[in-house]
Structure 1
Amino acid sequence: MKRVLLVVVLIMVGCDSSSTSSSEPENSSWVFVANEGDFFGNNGYVTMIDEFGNQFDSEVLGDVVQALVVYENKLIVSVNNSQKLIVFDITESGISNPQEILTDGMSPRELIVIDDKLYFGAWDPDYNVYQTTPGFLKVLSLESFEIESTIDVGIMPEGLLYNSNYLWVANSGESTVNKIDIYTNSIVETIDVGNGPQNLVSSNGDIYISRRFYDDNWSEFHGSSKISGDQVTSLTYGSGVICGGSVLDFNGQVYRSFEGGIAPLQEDLNLNESARIGSYNQGNVYHVEIIGDHIWFGLAVLNDSGWLASEPGTVKVIDSNGLEISSYEVGINPGDFAIWNK
C-alpha cells in the first residue's frame, strides 16, 4: 500500500550560535538513545547526549522507536510500528536532513551495518500473525537507500551479529539461530540453541546467546546458550529467575544482564552472581549496553501493576566498579543506544 512520506524537521534546543564563544570546546561525539514511547502512542523520539553531558531531543519520529545504528556520518533509526526507517545526517552540532524509507509494510526491528548495506529484522505488524509466521531479514543499500533483497528467516527475528564472515540471526519466537552467507543472501545453517534466543555476542570465537521465553501458562523463563564450532551448550535458569535479555562482552568477559546489573557468565553458562556489576531494580532495566569503558542502562518506569508506565525513563552510566558516573532523564522506554565519534 502506498503511503505519503512526511518530512520530519528536527529542532535542537540549545543556545543561540551568536552567543557561543569561539574558545568553547567543540563537541566531537554523540550517544543516541532510542526512546520507544508507548505502543500505538506515536510518541517515540531520540535523545542525544554530547561528550559534555548536554542533552537534546529530536521531534517525535513515530510509533515505537525500536533501534539505532550509526554508519559513518549517518544515524539510522527503525520505527517499528510506523513501518519505516529514518536516516539522518550527523555532525558535531546534531542530526539533520531526515530521509524516510518505508519497509514494505513490515515492522523493522534490530539493525546492523555490514560494508555498505543495512540488514534489519522485519515482522508482520499483525499481532495474530508474527508470533507464528516466519519473519524476514531485509537488505538496504546504503548507496541508493533502497531495499534490494529479502531473506526468509525464522519466527520473530531479533538479535543480529556479524561474526566469522557470516550474519547470525536470533529467531526469538522459536529456538533457532540462522547462519547467513551475506554474499548469496542464503541460510547456510539453522542451529537449535533452546527456546527464545534474543541477543548475540561473540567472544574468543564463540557465540553467546541470551534467551527468554514463556510456557503455556505464561510463566517466564530465562537462559543462555553458546555456539562453539559444531558444539551447542544451553542452560535454562528456571521460572522466576530475575534475568534480563542482554548478553555483553565487557573487558574480554561475557556478561549477562541479571538482578538489575550484569553478571559474568561462567564456562558452564551459570551466572557468577557475586561478581554482578550494578544494582538497579531489575523490573526497570529495559536495555543494557557497553559504550567505551562504561555500562549504560536504559531504565523504564513501572506502574503499580508492574506494567510499563507512560513516564520518562532514565539512563544510568556506571563504571566497572559499579560507581554511577552519569544520570540522564530521557523518554519513555529507552531501549537502544548508538555512538558517533567525529
Structure 2
Amino acid sequence: MPLAASPLPATHQAPLTMAAANVSSPAVFVLLGFSARPSLEPVLFILVLGFYTVSLLGNGLIMLASCLDPHLHTPMYFFLANLSFLDISFTTSIVPQLLTNLWGPQKTISYGGCVVQFYVSHWLGATECVLLAVMSYDRYAAICKPLHYTVIMHPRLCLRLALGSWLGGLSTSLVGSTLTMLLPLCGRNRIDHFFCEMPLIMQLACVDTRPNELEMYVASFLFVVLPLGLILMSYGHIARAVWQIRSAAGRRKAFNTCSSHVAVVALFYGSIIFMYLQPAKSSSHEQGKFIALFYTVATPMLNPLIYTLRNKDVKQALRHVVFRECWGSSKTVGHS
C-alpha cells in the first residue's frame, strides 16, 4: 500500500555509474524489526500470535455467516465478506514472517519472499482503501435513497464494485512494485522495519528515486486521498439525511447501520494519518513501527469484533451458523 511505511527521506542518491547500477539484487534481506528492543520480542510474539488467531477466527466466521445465512445475502454483507477475506489475506502476507523473526535470532527474508510481500501488501492495502469507499457508498444508498436501494445496489453492480476494488489495487501494485523492484540496490539489504514494503525498498536504492516517488504520490492520491474524500462526502450526505429523520428510533437505526463502518474507517485511516503527522526522526520511526504493527495486526482483528458487537443481524447469523454446525456434528456422531 502506498502509505503504509514511514515517509522517504528528503535527500536523494546521486546516479551511479553503469557498473554500480548493474549490481545484482541481494539474496536475502535483513528485517531489523524490533531487534533494537530484544526484551520486547517474546511479548510481541505472544501478542501478535493471539491477535492473528483471533483475526483468522473472527473474519473467517463473518465470511462463513455471510455465505450460509440467507438473511445476510445483501450488498452490505457481501462487501463485509470481501473486507474479511481481504483482512485475512493482508495479515497472512505479513504475520507469519513477523512471528518467525520474533521467535529467534534469524531476522532474514529471502529476496523472493520480500518481493511477494511488498507486491501483496501494496495490492491489498490499496484494495482496502477503495473497498471502504465502496462500502460508504452502499450506506449512502441505503439511508439517503431507501426506496431505490435495491434498484441502485443490484447484484451486478455490487460484483462490479468489488471486482473493481480488487483489480484497482492490483493495478497500482503491479506498476509501483515493479518500478521499485527494478531499482538497483547495490548490495544494500538491511530494512529497518518488520516487513518488506515499497517505500522501504526505495530507501535502499543507490540511484535517484524521484520518478518512483512521484508514482507513489500519484498512486497515494488516487487510492488513499480520493477514496477518503468520497467516504467523507458520503457521510456528509448521510449525516444530513439522518438529521432530517424526525423519530428518535429512526435516527438510532440509521446510526447503528453506519457506526460499524465509521469505526473501521477511523481505525484504518486514523493510524495512517497519525503516522504521517509525525516528524521524520529516529524516535518517530520507532513509533511508526508500532503504529504499523497496530494496523497490520490489531485492526484486522478489531474489524470483525466491531461488526459483530454492534450488529444484531451478524450476531444472530453467527449463532445460527455455529449452532447448526455444532448440532449437525453432534447428530452425525450420534448416528454413527
TM over 0.5: no
Q: Which one scores higher on RCO, CA 8 angstroms, separation ≥ 6?
A: 2
The structure that has the greater radius of gyration is: 2
- Write 1 or 2 for the structure with the bigger share of strand: 1
- Write 1 or 2 for the structure with the bigger share of helix: 2
